[in-house]
């Protein structure tokens, strides 16, 4: 049994509260019959998961309750975990520890240990900012003050001196519960009559709903630390997630509770109850209620009131508080803070107004509710809620639009719209935007104008993506006539497979992908998906390109080199190409000048590299064409549908029942494809290499003259011609007689020519430099040209060749996007077609995996098929696509 599985088995018994005497014999045996070891694991597990002392197994193994909670708090602070709000009745009442004291101790721990602010996990940093008011800028300022103290001081300055003395004014909703804290007689002496009356009421009658108490009194007692707040959540409650305000994007810690918070983010919607979320996530209901309660406390979620019968009439002071919130919303209109840690600095005017309010204990304390705080959950009416429930049916399935983090990065990086960055953060962190919040998102996208992108260079891409994204959402909602949710692929991938399947099958009819997707799709979806049909791996994009080329019989000359390959010369198939397209794992493709081919050796040390011919003097011209192809009346689309590569690909890819776009390029070199088409890949070993090895192993023939090496003028490539000077010139003349060499292929960059001329000793070689250059180009094209003369009339030359195929809706090209949204979606997204999409994707994936399996082994090796659901392996043989087919590379 592995250590991990052993620990999981032990923890499962701890969760089930199984004592040592009732422990299964096999578990006791793995513990070496050591009861003390089991008790130690119980304590560590209980502290790590913040379990209550009473009612759990730790109560019977650890005898000191107060010491247990003190140790729990100490471990939590060192691990930078959130304040344990679910234990507030013990921690605050018993230890007199408030969230403010807790986070102050955590900040001091970071400062004393010289840790960066970024070491705080996201949710911890957000709660710390909410309670203490210390964000990144404030933390850096305090850290700088501590490090730049006077050298005359003989003692280290105390970080507590630089921290606030009281917590900030936080958002308190009227349905929260107010609980009595740790109140001493000395505390009562400083309370006014209203505050004292509330304390007496809490002592005599227990917890009270915050809305029934005076708004300012509740804030005053909270900031004194005399009360604590409970956010009650029941299994029948429903929540909505608004655009995130005051979220701090630092890091993720990866602990269990943090993972649960993100899972709740992506699975929650306004139609599902908390109990249903618990069933989807397969997590105990109390744990999901704990996570949801925290979201409402941080104002990352709002509880929807489904019943107003038992809601008490709020205190008059809460109604005036609503007016203050509306006024503040008007003041903050158009102001969005992307660096949420600078919240304090941007609201100095609000601070000066609120410091004069009754109940403020310190000048400079902040009450900074966001514009979103004036929410329906605070002050909604029965009629408004009823209207929403009548329109939305919880059983109606929706359509999901899948995007990846590239889209959120574009929305964040471009200075597009003040409110759009908040939505971008929400899309990234929550991983989801439900249809209920789509109108607000569309209003922000509508503020983006393409005219603002003029003169912005690369930034104009962000404007185009935002504008096309809005038109796509509007078109999908109109054409499909259904509710649409935006789903981030990476957030879905963070869910375990069974949870993801339960969520998608319950909520969505089918999914549509943005194209291309750069995120990882580890397992195909179990519901109809108009997107990529294959499982994503590190090398999948390289494999798919070669798959399309081989099955279509057309494509640019391509060379896939395995890890560890060393390029000593420019490969022969790229002679004449001045521009190369380079694809490396985990990076975007880029264009490289062919004379710089040697720089690829650094990349080859770490992984495989795909090299493709991409133009002679300049980069290839690109054209995008959507599929399924439009009718014959659509003009130019007809010619693309009759392209030789498309006609062959249509036999393997179902271009009629799925949609996407093909990328064609014109490199300046015509593509002849291949006449003897075979969809199977047959890799044979290079016989020349074997013969060379045998000849080297035998005795050399002393009488035979050694051939002279001749350097060709081909961008740094070095070739050896086994003939003397006279025969070399004769070969050149013979090739000239056989074919007419394209002058454009013979042109090389001037610098490369000059460099090669310096390397070649013309007196020793005795060969005309121009003739050697032509030989290099001629040898590269001799086979293809001779094949071309012998081709059947059915095989035609294509000026454009295929570069790639993507499934989904492109967000970068207006014409392709419009064609798909207006003409294709309504045709394919119907029940008759969506029912067959899963089978169509499965058939295409089978052909794709069969192709990869054939590319991994030579014909004389036993082939092992790559099975669906398994990661696609790395290439083990360097492959070349030339003359319309895949073969093994001979190293030339």
Structural contact between residues 486 and 440, judged by C-beta atoms closer than 8 angstroms: no
CA neighbor of 268 nearest in space, from 295, 241, 297: 241
Other CB atoms within a 10 A radius of the CB of residue 815 amount to 12
Report the pLDDT value the prediction gives residue 311, as an integer from 0 to 100.
60
Report the chain's mean pLDDT, rounded to a whole number.
Answer: 79
Q: Is the peptide bond before 516 cis (omega within 30 degrees of 0)?
A: yes
Give residues with Cβ within 8 angstroms of 836, minimum separation 6. Answer: 657
One domain for residues 516 and 586: no
Q: Containing H/E element for 313?
A: none
Provide the token pair at 738: 């056989």
Tell whether the torsion through CA atoms of 173, 175, 176 and 177 is positive or negative: positive
In this structure, the dihedral spanned by the alpha carbons of residues 686, 688, 691 and 695, taken in order and rounded to 10 degrees, is -140
Structural contact between residues 810 and 515, judged by C-beta atoms closer than 8 angstroms: yes
Percentage of the chain with pLDDT > 70?
Answer: 75
Report the pLDDT value the prediction gives residue 103, as an integer from 0 to 100.
96
One domain for residues 591 and 513: no
Burial of 843 (0-12, 13-18, 19+ CB in 10 A): middle
Lowest pLDDT segment from 473-482, 498-507, 757-766: 757-766
Per-residue HEC secondary structure of 42-70 comes to HHHHHHHCCCCCCCCCHHHHCCCHHHHHH
Please give the angle made by the CA atoms of 177, 179 and 181, to the nearest 5 degrees: 155
Report the pLDDT value the prediction gives residue 633, as an integer from 0 to 100.
42
Residue 684 lies in a domain: no
Q: How far is CA 554 from CA 22, 533, 800, 886, in A?
A: 69, 21, 9, 11
Residue 848 lies in a domain: no
Where is pLDDT greater, at 687 or 326?
687
Instruction: Count up the domains in the chain and report the number.
Output: 2
Report the pLDDT value the prediction gives residue 648, as an integer from 0 to 100.
92
Tell me the β-bridge partners of 209.
177
Q: Strand, helix or coil at 403?
A: strand
CA neighbor of 246 nearest in space, from 122, 376, 378: 122
Per DSSP, 539 falls in state T
Lowest pLDDT segment from 262-276, 297-311, 760-774: 760-774
- What is the C-alpha to C-alpha distance for residues 579 and 831, in angstroms, rounded to an integer? 46
Residue 636 lies in a domain: yes
Lowest pLDDT segment from 196-205, 659-668, 690-699: 690-699
Structural contact between residues 139 and 187, judged by C-beta atoms closer than 8 angstroms: no
Which alpha helices (DSSP H) does 31-181 contain, by range?
Answer: 35-48, 58-61, 65-79, 88-95, 99-112, 122-131, 136-147
The 10s digit of each residue's pLDDT in 606-619 is: 999 999 999 999 99
- What is the C-alpha to C-alpha distance for residues 461 and 42, in angstroms, rounded to an integer? 55
Residue 778 lies in a domain: yes
- What is the C-alpha to C-alpha distance for residues 589 and 661, in angstroms, rounded to an integer? 18
Where is pLDDT greater, at 379 or 71?
71
CA neighbor of 565 nearest in space, from 518, 601, 517, 522: 601
One domain for residues 638 and 756: yes
Strand ranges of the sheet holding 227-230, from the earlier edge strand across to the other edge: 208-209, 177-180, 227-230
Res. 538 pLDDT band, cuts 50 70 90: confident
Report the pLDDT value the prediction gives residue 703, as an integer from 0 to 100.
43
Report the pLDDT value the prediction gives residue 308, as an integer from 0 to 100.
41
Res. 82 pLDDT band, cuts 50 70 90: very high
Answer yes or no: is pLDDT of 723 > 90.
no
Residue 376 lies in a domain: no
One domain for residues 566 and 469: no
Q: What is the mean pLDDT of residues 717-726?
A: 36
Q: Which of 498, 527, 556 is the last residue of a domain?
A: 527
Report the pLDDT value the prediction gives residue 154, as an integer from 0 to 100.
55
Q: Which of 493, 527, 561 is the last residue of a domain?
A: 527
Q: Strand, helix or coil at 622?
A: strand
One domain for residues 474 and 622: no
Residue 655 lies in a domain: yes
Answer yes or no: is pLDDT of 769 > 90.
no
Structural contact between residues 346 and 272, judged by C-beta atoms closer than 8 angstroms: no
Domain that holds residue 422: 396-527
Tell me the β-bridge partners of 887.
880
- Give the pairing of strands 177-180 and 885-888: unpaired
Residue 71 lies in a domain: no
Residue 53 lies in a domain: no
Backbone angles phi, psi at 472, to 5 degrees: -65, -45
Provide the token pair at 25: 């014999």
The 10s digit of each residue's pLDDT in 776-796 is: 444 444 444 444 444 444 556
- What is the C-alpha to C-alpha distance for residues 48 and 68, in angstroms, rounded to an integer? 12
Answer yes or no: is pLDDT of 758 > 80.
no
The 10s digit of each residue's pLDDT in 227-263 is: 999 999 999 999 999 998 889 988 888 888 999 999 9
The 10s digit of each residue's pLDDT in 410-455 is: 888 767 777 888 899 999 999 999 999 999 999 999 888 766 655 5
- What is the C-alpha to C-alpha distance for residues 10 and 8, in angstroms, rounded to an integer? 5
Per-residue HEC secondary structure of 553-614 comes to CCCCCEEEECCCCCCCCCCHHHCCCCEEEEEECCCCCEEEEHHHHHHHHHHHCCCCEEEEEC
One domain for residues 500 and 585: no
Tell me the β-bridge partners of 398.
508
Q: What is the DSSP string of 663-702?
A: EEEE-SS-B---SS--SS------HHHHHHHHHHHS---T
- What is the C-alpha to C-alpha distance for residues 828 and 819, in angstroms, rounded to an integer? 13
Other CB atoms within a 10 A radius of the CB of residue 195 amount to 21
Provide the token pair at 601: 């050796």
Answer yes or no: is pLDDT of 492 > 80.
yes
One domain for residues 492 and 585: no
Report the pLDDT value the prediction gives residue 666, as an integer from 0 to 100.
94
One domain for residues 620 and 756: yes
One domain for residues 414 and 507: yes
The whole-model pTM stands at: 0.80
One domain for residues 618 and 726: yes
One domain for residues 518 and 543: no
Res. 336 pLDDT band, cuts 50 70 90: very low
One domain for residues 520 and 542: no
């Amino acid at each position: 049994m592995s250590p991990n599985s052993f620990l999981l088995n032990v923890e499962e018994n701890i969760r089930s509260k199984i004592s040592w005497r009732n422990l299964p014999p096999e578990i006791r045996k793995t513990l070496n019959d050591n009861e003390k070891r089991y008790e130690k694991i119980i304590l560590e597990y209980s502290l790590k998961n913040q379990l209550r002392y009473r009612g759990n197994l730790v109560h019977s193994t650890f005898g000191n309750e107060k010491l247990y909670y003190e140790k729990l708090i100490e471990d939590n602070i060192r691990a930078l975990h959130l304040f344990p709000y679910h234990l507030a009745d013990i921690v605050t009442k018993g230890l007199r520890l408030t969230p403010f004291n807790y986070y102050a101790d955590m900040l001091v721990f970071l400062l004393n240990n010289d840790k960066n602010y970024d070491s705080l996990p996201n949710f911890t940093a957000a709660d710390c900012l909410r309670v203490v008011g210390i964000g990144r800028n404030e933390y850096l300022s305090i850290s700088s003050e501590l490090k730049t103290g006077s050298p005359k001081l003989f003692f280290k300055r105390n970080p507590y001196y630089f921290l606030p003395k009281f917590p900030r004014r936080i958002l308190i909703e009227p349905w929260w519960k107010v609980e009595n804290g740790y109140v001493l007689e000395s505390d009562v002496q400083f309370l006014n009559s209203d505050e004292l009356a509330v304390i007496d009421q809490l002592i005599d009658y227990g917890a009270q709903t915050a809305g029934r108490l005076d708004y300012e009194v509740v804030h005053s007692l909270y900031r004194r630390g005399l009360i604590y707040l409970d956010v009650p959540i029941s299994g029948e409650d429903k929540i909505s997630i608004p655009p995130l305000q005051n979220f701090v994007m630092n890091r993720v810690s990866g602990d269990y509770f943090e993972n649960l918070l993100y899972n709740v983010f992506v699975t929650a919607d306004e139609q599902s109850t908390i109990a249903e979320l618990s069933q989807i996530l397969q997590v105990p209901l109390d744990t999901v209620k704990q996570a949801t309660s925290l979201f409402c406390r941080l104002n990352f979620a709002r509880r929807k009131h489904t019943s107003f019968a038992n809601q008490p009439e709020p205190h008059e002071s809460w109604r005036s508080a609503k007016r203050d919130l509306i006024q503040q919303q008007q003041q903050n209109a158009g102001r969005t803070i992307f660096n949420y840690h600078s919240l304090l600095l941007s609201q100095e005017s609000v601070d000066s107004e609120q410091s004069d309010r009754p109940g403020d204990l310190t000048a400079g304390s902040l009450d900074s509710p966001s514009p979103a705080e004036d929410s329906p959950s605070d002050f909604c009416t029965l009629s408004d809620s009823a209207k929403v429930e009548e329109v939305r049916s919880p059983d109606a399935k929706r359509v999901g639009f899948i995007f990846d983090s590239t889209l959120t990065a574009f929305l964040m990086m471009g200075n597009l719209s003040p409110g759009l960055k908040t939505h971008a953060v929400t899309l990234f962190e929550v991983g989801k935007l439900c249809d209920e919040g789509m109108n607000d998102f569309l209003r922000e996208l509508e503020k983006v104008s393409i005219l603002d992108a003029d003169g912005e260079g690369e930034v104009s891409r962000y404007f185009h993506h935002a504008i096309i994204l809005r038109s796509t959402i509007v078109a999908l909602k109109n054409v499909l006539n259904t509710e649409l949710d935006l789903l981030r692929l990476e957030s879905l991938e963070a869910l375990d497979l069974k949870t993801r399947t339960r969520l998608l099958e319950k909520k969505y009819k089918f999914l549509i992908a943005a194209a291309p997707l750069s995120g990882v799709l580890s397992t195909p979806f179990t519901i109809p998906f108009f997107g990529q049909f294959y499982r994503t791996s590190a090398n999948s994009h390289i494999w798919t390109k070669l798959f399309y080329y081989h099955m279509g019989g057309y494509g640019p000359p391509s060379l896939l080199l395995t890890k560890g390959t060393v390029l000593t010369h420019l490969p022969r198939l790229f002679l004449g190409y001045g521009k190369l397209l380079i694809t490396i794992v985990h990076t975007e493709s880029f264009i490289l000048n062919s004379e710089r081919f040697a720089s690829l050796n650094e990349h080859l040390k770490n992984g495989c590299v795909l090299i493709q011919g991409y133009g002679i003097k300049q980069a290839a011209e690109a054209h995008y064409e959507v599929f399924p192809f439009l009718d014959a009346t659509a003009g130019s689309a007809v010619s693309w549908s009759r392209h030789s590569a498309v006609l062959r690909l249509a036999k393997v890819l179902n271009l009629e029942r799925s949609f996407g776009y093909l990328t064609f390029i014109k490199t300046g070199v015509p593509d002849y494809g291949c006449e003897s088409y075979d969809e199977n890949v047959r890799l044979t070993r290079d016989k020349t290499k074997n013969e060379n090895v045998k000849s080297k192993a035998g005795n050399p023939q002393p009488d035979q003259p050694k051939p002279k090496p001749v350097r060709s003028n081909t961008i740094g490539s070095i070739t050896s011609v086994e003939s003397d000077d006279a025969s070399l010139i004769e070969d050149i003349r013979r090739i000239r007689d056989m074919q007419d060499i394209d002058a454009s292929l013979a042109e090389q960059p001037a610098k490369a020519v000059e460099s090669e001329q310096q390397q070649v000793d013309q007196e020793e070689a005795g060969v005309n430099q121009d003739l050697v250059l032509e030989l290099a180009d001629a040898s590269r094209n001799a086979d293809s040209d001779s094949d071309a003369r012998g081709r059947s009339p059915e095989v035609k030359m294509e000026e454009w060749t295929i570069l790639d195929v993507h499934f989904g809706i492109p967000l970068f090209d207006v014409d392709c996007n419009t064609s798909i949204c207006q003409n294709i979606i309504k045709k394919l997204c119907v029940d008759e077609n969506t029912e067959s999409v899963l089978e169509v994707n499965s058939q295409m994936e089978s052909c794709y995996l069969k192709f990869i399996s054939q590319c991994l082994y030579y014909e004389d090796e036993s082939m092992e098929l790559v099975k669906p659901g398994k990661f696609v392996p790395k290439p083990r043989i360097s492959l070349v696509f030339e003359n319309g087919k895949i073969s093994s590379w001979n190293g030339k």
